[in-house]
Chain A
Amino acid sequence: MSYLLDIFTIAAVSVGAFFFLAGTVGLLRFPDTLTRLHALTKADNLGLGLVVLGLLPRAQGPLEALKLVTVWLLVLLASGTVSQLIGRAARRGSLLE
Chain B
Amino acid sequence: MTLASALEIFLAMLVLASAIWTITARGTFAAVVGFVTYGLLLTLVWMSLSSVDIALTEAAIGSGVTGILLLGATARLEVTEKCTAARSDTPLHVVAAIVCALVTIGLAAVVLALPVPAPTLAAAAVANMPAVGLGNPVAAVLLAYRALDTLLESAVLPLALIGVWSLASDQVWGGRPGFQQQLDREGLLVFLARLLTPFGLLTGIYIVWVGADAPGGKFQGGTILAAMWILTMMAGITDCPPIGRLWLRIVLITGPIVFLAIGLAGFVVPGTFLAYPAGLAKPLILIIEAALTPSIAASLGLLLAGPPERMPEG
Closest to B28 in A: A96
Q: How large is the interface on A (under 10, 10 to 19, 20 to 34, 35 or more residues)?
A: under 10
B188–A85 touching, CB < 8 Å? yes
Given contacts A96-B74, A96-B75, contact A81 B29 (CB under 8 A): no
**B283 at interface by CB-CB < 8 Å:** no
CA of A96 to CA of B26, assembled, Å: 13
Q: Give the chain B neighbours of A77 by CB distance below 8 A.
A: 192, 195-196
The answer on a CB contact under 8 Å between B74 and A81 is no
Chain A residues positioned under 8 Å from B78 (CB to CB): 96
B residues near A96, Cβ cutoff 8 Å: 29, 74-75, 78
B61 at the binding interface (Cβ < 8 Å): no
A8 to chain B, nearest CB (A): 22
Are the CB atoms of B27 and A81 closer together than 8 Å?
Answer: no
In the bound complex, do residue A81 and residue B75 qualify as a contact, i.e. CB atoms below 8 Å apart? no
Contact A85 B29 (CB under 8 A): no
The count of chain B contact residues (Cβ–Cβ below 8 Å) is 13
* Other-chain contact of A97, B29, B188, B191, B192 (Cβ < 8 Å): B29
Assembled-state Cα–Cα distance A64/B188 (Å): 30
Question: Is B243's beta carbon under 8 Å from chain A?
Answer: no
Cβ–Cβ < 8 Å partners of B195 in chain A: 77
B192 contacts across to A, CB distance below 8 A: 77-78, 81
Residues of B close to A85: CB separation below 8 A: 188-189
The answer to whether A97 and B196 touch across the interface, beta carbons within 8 angstroms, is: no
Interface string of A57-93 (1 = CB under 8 A from B): 0000000000000000010011001001100100000
CA gap between A78 and B231 in the complex, in Å:
12
Q: In whole angstroms, how far apart are the Cα atoms of A88 and B196 in the complex?
A: 21
- Decide if A84 touches B188 in the complex (CB within 8 Å): yes
In B152-192, which residues have CB < 8 Å from any A CB?
188-189, 191-192
Q: Which residue of A lies closest to B29 (CB)?
A: A96
In Å, the complex CA distance between A85 and B78 comes to: 20
19 contacts between A and B (CB under 8 A): A74-B199, A77-B192, A77-B195, A77-B196, A78-B192, A81-B188, A81-B189, A81-B191, A81-B192, A84-B188, A85-B188, A85-B189, A88-B188, A96-B29, A96-B74, A96-B75, A97-B27, A97-B29, A97-B30
Closest 6 CB pairs of A and B: A96-B29, A81-B192, A84-B188, A97-B27, A81-B188, A97-B29
